[in-house]
Each structure stands twice: as C-alpha cells, then as structure tokens.
Amino acid sequence: MTSRFTYHVRATLFLAFFLALLFACFDILPALAGVYDADGDVTYKEYWIPHSEYTGGIDTTLPGCIDTTPQGGTFYLEPVNSCSKVVRLTIDDDFANALKVELYLDIWRNHVPPSAAFKLNNGPVHQTPVGENWSRTPYIATIDKNELVRGVNTITFLDTDGAYHIHDAALRIYFDATHPLRDANGLEITAPQGRLLTVWADNGLFDVSSGGTLLVDDDQLVLTAQVDSPAKFVEFHGFYAGYDEDNDGQFTDWHSAARNNFHPGGTTPSPLGGTINHIGTVATNSPGPYTMYWSLPHVINQSGVKFKIRIVDSNYVV
C-alpha cells in the first residue's frame, strides 16, 4: 500500500474522485499560494495584463525613473526604490452586479519580509503578505469592486523593502446566474460547460461519480473530460502529495504554478496561454470528449488524490 510507483511493480493508489469544472475560492482571505486552489464549481472571467505593458526594470545609471525597456514586451516588471511601475488594463464588461474580484500575481523574489505592494487606480495601497528571497510566490487577493472602473484601469506596483519581479498579473471577476457579468453590449456572459467523465488505470475504467481504488504499475493514468460548449482548451488538475511548486510549505495540494514561463531563462508562454506545471492542457476545437495521459513516475503511492478540470473559452471565461 505504501510502495512507490515503479515500472512493472504494482502499487495501489486510492483516489477520491472530485469533479470541479471551474475553480477559485469563495472566501475573503488571500490565497497564500497556488493558482487555482478551489474545491468547488465557480465561474469567472480572467483579464490578463498584456506583456506589452511590462517595461522591465529601472535604469539606475540614469537620473529619474527610466524604464529599461520603455517599449514594453519584457517578461517582468521590477519597481525599484521610489520608482514604481504602472500598467494599464481595459475592462469593457459591466461588473456592477458580479460576485467579487480577485487579483492574481506571480511574484519572484518578494523577500522576507515581503516587499511588493500595489494599488488599483486611486484606491488604497495593498501590501502582499507572502514572499521568499529566492523563489516565486503566487498570490491571490480579493479586491473591492469599487477600486475598479469600467474602462481603463491602472495598477501601480511599489517597492517597499527591496526589488522584486512581477512575472504575470490578472484580474478575475466572478459571476453566477443571480450575480451576472455583462459584456459591452449588455448581454450576460456565460461560461463554457463540461464535466470530468472517467479515469482509466490498470485495473479498469472508473466513472468519476463512483470513485474507487486504482491499480497503477505503468506510471500512467488516463483522464477523459466532456466539453459541451465552444471552448479554447480544457486543463486537467490533480490534488496529491508532490513537489511544492508554489513555495507555501504545502506538499499536498492542487498542483499548478503559473500561466507561462516568463521567468529568468524563459520568454515563451504556454502555446494555449493556459496554466503550466499541472497534469496537462488539451485544445478543444469542438464540443466532445478529450483525453489526457498523465505520466506520474514522480508521484508516490498515496490516498486522497482528487481531480478537477478547468474549461476556458477564447475570451478567457472559465
């Protein structure tokens, strides 16, 4: 029961199947780590700040606050001392009746104690509570809707205790049938639909509604999801004991790290623009079933494993 996964050696993996088509947290506390930590169904729209707004760091050889890449397009933002960084994000949708707003930040070297602070438009300054001296720390904060405006918004990043990088940033606006999000024409925005169907292992094919015990001796599971409406891609996520990608000290959690690899040494986003460091992503060209093969030689034998999927359309509605 506690043997590790190895080829040709049978090990038992207990799985509590969990279906979650969409994710996020419905509390008002910040998520100290992770990109998608929720355990339940939610709907929201993502508004990613384009990297055309990312102007690198500050040229300290020149007087004043001169961007190192004033034309934009870098993989990072780096406010330095009193030189802040300001980015713009246009929101045409009407979010007056939406449920809530979150800000997601992918921060690198946020220090101990944390340095990164930010404000939206002319709102209050928010100090981030998480940071490490030499690693990434994803951060999710609930934002008062009144800090946003319909139209052009600005986000100002401040250095309070040492230089750091912002590698990605996005707003998430949550909605449901009684708290609608409307597009620029006043029409209600709807999320793509689908569900997780089955998980295959060496001892058979399991319906997710049934749960069960999976036998694995080839370091592979196969997950199948049904996408019922037009979407751009479907992501498969797992909850299990593994590497601590998000540096929160929790090895058993939903494993995913960031939307792209705009970190030192990488300048290319995931081809579909979605998450990385998860089970995997499949492009969904039309409604129908989609399958993901999960190679898991790095995952030890364990119980309590859960799965969920995230379906995203071309407008980043989830």
The Cα 301–Cα 304 span in angstroms is 10
pTM here?
0.86
In angstroms, the Cα distances linking 66 to 37, 59, 260 are 38, 6, 27
The confidence score (pLDDT) of residue 248 equals 77
Provide mean pLDDT across the span 305-309: 91
DSSP lists the bridge partners of residue 87 as 155
Q: Which two tokens stand for residue 224?
A: 């199948």
pLDDT band at 9 (very low <50, low <70, confident <90, very high): very low
- State the residue for tokens 């004991």: 241
The Cα 92–Cα 97 span in angstroms is 14
28 pLDDT more than 60: no
Which of 83-97, 106-120, 132-146, 256-270 shows the lowest mean pLDDT across its residues?
256-270
CA 207 to chain centre: 27
Provide mean pLDDT across the span 172-199: 97
- pLDDT more than 70, % of the chain: 85
Q: Which two tokens stand for residue 43?
A: 């709907």
pLDDT band at 53 (very low <50, low <70, confident <90, very high): very high
Mean of all residue pLDDT scores within the chain? 84
CA atoms within 13 A on the CB side of 188: 11
Q: Which residues, 6 or more positions from 159, have their beta carbon under 8 angstroms from its beta carbon?
A: 79, 80, 81, 82, 83, 84, 115, 116, 117
7 pLDDT more than 50: no
The Cα 57–Cα 81 span in angstroms is 11
The confidence score (pLDDT) of residue 216 equals 81
CA 22 to chain centre: 11
Which of 18-27, 160-169, 176-185 shows the lowest mean pLDDT across its residues?
18-27
If we measure between CA atoms, which residue out of 197, 193, 281, 188 comes closest to residue 229?
A: 193
The confidence score (pLDDT) of residue 257 equals 73
The Cα 53–Cα 227 span in angstroms is 33
- pLDDT by residue (tens digit) across 205-247? 999 887 777 888 778 999 999 999 999 999 999 999 988 877 7
The confidence score (pLDDT) of residue 116 equals 98
The separation between the first and the last C-alpha atoms of the chain, rounded to the nearest angstrom, is 37
Question: Contact at 8 Å (CB) between 124 and 199?
Answer: no
pLDDT band at 270 (very low <50, low <70, confident <90, very high): low
If we measure between CA atoms, which residue out of 87, 91, 85 comes closest to residue 47?
A: 91
Domain annotation for the chain: domains and CATH numbers? 11-23+191-312 (no CATH), 44-174 (2.60.120.1200)
pLDDT band at 261 (very low <50, low <70, confident <90, very high): low
The confidence score (pLDDT) of residue 89 equals 98
